[in-house]
Each structure stands twice: as structure tokens, then as C-alpha cells.
Structure 1
Amino acid sequence: MKDIVIASNNKGKINDFKVIFPEYNIIPIGDLIPGFDVEETGTTFEDNAKLKSEAAAQALNKPVIADDSGLEVFALNGEPGVYSARYAGLEKDDDANIKKVLEQLGDTEDRRAQFVCVVSLSAPNEKTIQFKGTVQGEITLNKIGDEGFGYDPIFYVPDLNKTMAQLQAHEKSEISHRGKAIDQLQRYLKDDN
């Protein structure tokens, strides 16, 4: 089984990668470099994913995958965007973030939103390659479902008549923003071998 190092310590993201990449041994960066953290100073998902994957690839001297992802709510001018994890504060509290989005939206009729994920593959002395996935949905009025993480309980997918938090892990991986980006990465890796 091949190893893939993921430049993340987010348990939800690591689990998503494990479900989507069952044929690989997924290794969180923290298992190899305890306390590894990169300040996300970019203004786009692309910028932040690249910052993380390149720093990790350099530190380990091996290929590394990183992602940056988040929620964009159209009526909020794309917020929380790249600040999704820390929208309500630096402690990265999912419940507080959800509460803030719902408060900001109030009873706004336009509740369209999208999840965005950019996956970045970096290797020493090679150009970083990136893949982007999105999934369209709407923000609910309150939390529904117990699966997933982050904004999943308030992200309703009309085609499935469920929130992301009502989907089982394998269902979510088939339609999610991360699943779509990783699918492109998988195709690239197969073509490259």
C-alpha cells in the first residue's frame, strides 16, 4: 500500500481522504512532524493550499498533498471563504462558525452557497499542481444531521434533498467538493504513472 502524506491535522479532512483514497495509507503531517502548521496568509484557496503543500514537501523532502477549502455564501459576498475555519474566531469552533453564518444571513431569501476545495500536490524541485472542486447548495435555517464536520449541518444539497451532515461518508465523497478535487488528482496520478 502506497503512502500519501496529507499536510493537515484536521480529523474531518483526513477521514475524507481515507474514504476517497482507500487504496492508499493516508498519513497526517502531524504523525511525521508534530506541531506542523503553516500560516494561511493567502487570499484564495489556491494560495493557501499551495503554501501548505510546498512547506510540507520541503520539510519532508517528499511529495505531499494539501488542501484548502471552505464555504462561499453568495448573499454574503462569498464569505466566509478562505476564513471558513476561523470565521467566528481563531479557535476554529464549528458551532460558532455556523451560528455566525446563520446570524449574518438572517432571513435573507437568497441562501445559495457553494463549498470549494483546492487540492495541491507538491514535490521537491517540481512545479506544484492544483485541482479544484465545487458543490452547489443552499444554507438551511438551522442545523440538520449529525455526520460530517464544519458547515455540513447547514449545507443543503437540493439534488439529494439532504444536508451534507445527513450523508454517509461514501455518499458525501461522491458529490463533495473535496471528492471532486481529489478525483481530478487521482486521474492525474494514474495518467502520470
Structure 2
Amino acid sequence: MPIDPNAPRRLAAGGRVVLASHNRGKLAEFGAVLGAWDITVLLASDLGLPEPDETEDSFAGNARLKALAAAKASMQPSLADDSGFAVDALGGAPGIFSARWAGPEKDFAAAMRRIHHEAAANPDHSAAFVCALCLAWPDGHVVEVERTLRGEWVWPPRGSGGFGYDPMFAPRGSALTFGEMSREAKAAISHRALAIADLAAMVRPL
């Protein structure tokens, strides 16, 4: 019987999922969650899969593009996220270009200096982290979620934990930046944690 592409679909306990990323920081975050479901997580770079160009104009579009590319290349269910830092005073920038602002050297200190330089004159320090997740199967079936965590950007950056823009983002209601929080504290409230919780409700093994 053919699979109904619109039917709900869950991951299989004991199975494998490819994380469509070359970022080992993300592997640690997603691996902890999926490992608890008895699912082995494989990093795309360890399988020799290239990173496709992110040519879409939204977080959701780029996550879908990466997940589908990895699923079709590996013939395994594949999970991708596209996340970024959005500063209200900059019209939502760097947004989907968050990684590109850091350049090929992944110099996020320089990217944070750029945000400060371009937004310092605006009294509005509102900002957000956004995470879009897409889980794709080789046959093209996808499950997608997107969550946003509001807060504000701070200067100078504080803390050495996390990665990317974490040291300059304080979630709403917190005196600490992501860079100052423990991994466990950040994981409990982050934009990625919110998105993973939504995705889990739909695809985690029963």
C-alpha cells in the first residue's frame, strides 16, 4: 500500500537520523534529545555530505532545503535547522544571514561588533533568536516547526558559553546572556528547545 504523504509520520525507535549540519555544537544539542528517543544521530559532514547553498528567503525555506538534500543523499530521515539572530533596530538583520555576517572564518566577535556599530544609536535593543526545524524523509515528506525567543541585545557581550551570538543576547526576563548560562539552563529555554519540543510532539517514537 502506498504511503499517504499527508498522514502523520513518526520516527522509529532504534533508527537513525542525519543532522543536516557541519556544526558539532548543534550535534551535541540535537544528539542529546534524539538519543533519549533511542535514535542515533549522524552528522552530515561525517557522511561526506556537502552543505547546500542556502538560497531561500526565510528560515523555514532554508531548513527545508537542507533537510531534503540530506535525506535524499543519505536515504535516511534528516533533520535540519535554520536559526539566526534578529535585531529589531536593524529591520530583523542579520536574520537568515546570521552565519554570513561572521564570514568564512566564523568570526562572530566581528559580527557582534557590526551589530553594535549599526544599532548603537537606536535606543531599541529588542532582539530575538529564531529557529526553524524541518525533518525530511527520502520520499519528500516533511514536518516543520518554527519558534521565536524574544529578548534584547546587550553590549559588551558577556560570557564565553554557547556559540554564535549567544554572548550578546539576554532572553526576556533573564539577567544573564546565553553566553553566561550553563548549557543546561540555556537548553531549557532556548528557541531551539522550544522548536524541538514542538517537533517532538509530532514525530517522537510512541
TM-score normalized by the length of structure 2: 0.87
Q: Which whole-Å CA distance do the structure 2 matches of 1:78 and 1:85 have between them?
A: 14
Say how many residue pairs are matched. 191
In the other structure, the counterpart of 1:4 is 17
Question: What does 1:139-158 correspond to in 2, within 5 Å?
Answer: 139-158=153-172
Task: Say if 2:117 is the partner of 1:103.
Answer: yes
- Residues 160-179 of structure 1: CA distance to partner in whole angstroms, max 9, x if unpaired? 21101111111111111111
| 2:195 aligns with one of 167, 181, 185 | 181
Task: Say if 2:27 is the partner of 1:14.
Answer: yes
| 2:74 aligns with one of 38, 60, 70 | 60
Amino acid at match of 1:36: P
- The structure-2 alpha-carbon separation of the partners of 1:19 and 1:161, relative to structure 1 and needing over 3 Å to count, comes to farther
| 1:25 aligns with one of 37, 40, 55 | 40
Q: Which whole-Å CA distance do the structure 1 matches of 2:191 and 2:160 have between them?
A: 19
Q: Which whole-Å CA distance do the structure 2 matches of 1:90 and 1:29 have between them?
A: 19
Q: Which whole-Å CA distance do the structure 2 matches of 1:107 and 1:158 have between them?
A: 21
Deviation at 1:141, TM superposition (A): 1.4
Q: Which one has the bigger helix percentage?
A: 1
SS at match of 2:179: helix
Q: Which whole-Å CA distance do the structure 2 matches of 1:101 and 1:133 have between them?
A: 22
- Residues 123-178 of structure 1: CA distance to partner in whole angstroms, max 9, x if unpaired? 02142111112111101011101110000000012412110111111111111111
Question: What does 1:66-105 correspond to in 2, within 5 Å?
Answer: 66-105=80-119
Deviation at 1:83, TM superposition (A): 0.1
Q: Which whole-Å CA distance do the structure 2 matches of 1:140 and 1:107 have between them?
A: 13
Question: What does 1:129-148 correspond to in 2, within 5 Å?
Answer: 129-148=143-162
TM-score normalized by the length of structure 1: 0.92
Q: CA RMSD in A?
A: 1.6
Q: Which whole-Å CA distance do the structure 1 matches of 2:183 and 2:35 have between them?
A: 12
Deviation at 1:98, TM superposition (A): 1.0
Q: Which whole-Å CA distance do the structure 2 matches of 1:92 and 1:147 have between them?
A: 16
Unaligned runs of 5+ in 2: 1-13
In the other structure, the counterpart of 2:10 is none
Deviation at 1:88, TM superposition (A): 4.4
Q: Which whole-Å CA distance do the structure 2 matches of 1:27 and 1:169 have between them?
A: 21
Q: Which whole-Å CA distance do the structure 2 matches of 1:36 and 1:84 have between them?
A: 20
> Percent of pairs identical after alignment?
36
Is the contact between residue 64 and residue 134 of structure 2 (CA under 8 Å) also seen in structure 1? yes
